Chain A
Amino acid sequence: MNQKKENNKTSLIWYSRLILPVALWVILNLCSADFLLKVEERSHFEFDWFWFTGFLKEPSGLLSWLGLFFTQFLYLPWLGSLLWVLLLTASGELTVKIFKVPGYLSVLAYIPAFIFVVYNMSMGYMVYLMNHPGYFFMPVLGYLWALFTVVIIRKPHNPASSLIITIIIGFAGYYIAGFYALAALITACADSFRSDRSRLSRILILTAAAITIVLSPILMVSTTEYYIGTGWTLGLPDHVHTVPLLRMQGALILAMIVLLLISLLPHGELNGKKYIPIIIQCALLVGIIASTTILWYKDANFKTELRMIRAADNMKWEEVTRILEKASQSQDSDWQPTRVMVMLKDLALIKTGKDGDYAFSFSDGSCEQKRKWDVPMSIQIGHTLGFHYGIPGLCQRWCFETSTILGWKNIIFKYSAMTAILFNNTALSEKFLTKMDNTLFYRKWAKEQRKLVYDRSLMQKTAPYDLVLPLLCHEDRITSDLEGCETFIRRHFTGPSPVHSTPMYDRAALLFAMKSKDPTLFWTRFFLYLDSNNPKSIDRFYQEAAYLFSQQDNSDPLLKALPFDEQTKNLYKSFQNLAQRTGPKDLEEANRIFPANLRHTFFYYYYYVNNLKLF
Chain B
Amino acid sequence: MNRYVLYLSTAILLMTGCTSEPKKYSESTAPSIYPDFTEITVPSNIASPNFLIEDEAHSYVTVLESGKSKVCIKGRKVLIPLRKWKNLTAQGDISVTIYEKREKGWARMKPFSIYVSDEIDSYLTYRLIPPSFMSFQRLSINQRDLTSFKEKVVYANSMSAADDSRQCINCHNFRNWKTDEMQFHIRLEQGGTVMYRHGKLSKLNHKTDSTISAGVYPSWHPTHNYIAYSTNHTYQRLHSNHSNRVEVFDEYSDLILYDHDNNAVSIIENDSTELECFPYWTPDGKTLFYVSAHIGNPTLFQKLGGVAASTQSIRYNLYSKPFNPDDRSWGKKQLVIRADSMQKSITLPRVSPDGRWMMFTMGSQGVFHIWHKDSELYLMNLENGQYRSIDEINSSDVESYHSWSSTGKWIVFSTRREDGMYTRLYLSHLNDDGTFTKPFPVPQKDPQHSLKFMFSYNIPEFTIEPVKVSARELAAFIRSNDAQPVNYEQKREE
Contact = CB atoms under 8 A, between A and B. Distances in A.
B490 interface: no
Given A238-B163, A401-B135, A478 B247 contact: yes
A186 to B, nearest CB: 25
B82 interface: no
A382 to B, nearest CB: 11
A394 B133 CA distance: 11
Nearest to B242: A476
A443 interface: no
Contacts of A476: 239-242
A352 interface: no
A434 interface: yes
Interface in B412-467: 418-422, 446, 448-449, 451-452, 454
A238 B158 CA distance: 12
B454 A403 contact: yes
Interface residues of A, number: 49
A431 interface: yes
Interface string A197-213: 00000000000000000
B187 to A, nearest CB: 16
Contacts of B11: none
B136 interface: yes
Contact of A397 (B133, B158, B242): B133
B161 A50 contact: no
Instruction: Give the secondary structure class of B's interface.
Output: loop
A224 B240 CA distance: 39
Given A400-B130, A404-B138, A408-B454, A225 B153 contact: yes
Interface residues of B, number: 45
Contacts of A392: 240-241
A430 B451 CA distance: 9
Contact of A401 (B132, B158, B308): B132
B40 interface: no
Interface hub of B164, B239, B240 (most chain A Cβ within 10 A): B240
B471 interface: yes
B240 A393 contact: yes
Interface in A88-142: 131
B140 interface: yes
Contacts of A400: 130-133, 135
B159 A225 contact: yes
A374 to B, nearest CB: 12
A492 interface: yes
A14 interface: no
A238 B471 CA distance: 22
Interface stretch (A420-428, A574-582, A593-601): A420-428
B299 interface: no
Given A227-B159, A227-B162, A403-B130, A51 B452 contact: yes
A225 B130 contact: no
A425 B419 contact: yes
Interface string A366-406: 00000000000000000000000011111011001101110
A475 interface: yes
Contacts of B242: 393, 476
B305 to A, nearest CB: 11
A477 interface: yes
Nearest to A242: B164
A575 B133 CA distance: 48
B420 A427 contact: yes
Interface in B39-71: none
A474 B239 CA distance: 12
28 contacts: A50-B449, A50-B452, A227-B160, A228-B475, A230-B162, A240-B163, A391-B241, A393-B242, A397-B245, A400-B130, A400-B131, A400-B132, A400-B133, A404-B135, A405-B135, A408-B454, A425-B243, A425-B419, A428-B419, A431-B422, A472-B241, A478-B237, A478-B238, A478-B239, A478-B247, A478-B311, A479-B240, A480-B237
Given A227-B158, A391-B240, A478-B247, 17 more contacts: A48-B452, A51-B452, A222-B472, A225-B156, A230-B162, A238-B163, A239-B163, A396-B245, A397-B245, A400-B130, A400-B132, A401-B133, A404-B137, A420-B421, A423-B243, A435-B452, A474-B241
Interface of A: 48, 50-51, 131, 222, 224-230, 238-242, 390-394, 396-397, 400-401, 403-405, 408, 420, 423, 425, 427-428, 430-431, 434-435, 472, 474-481, 492
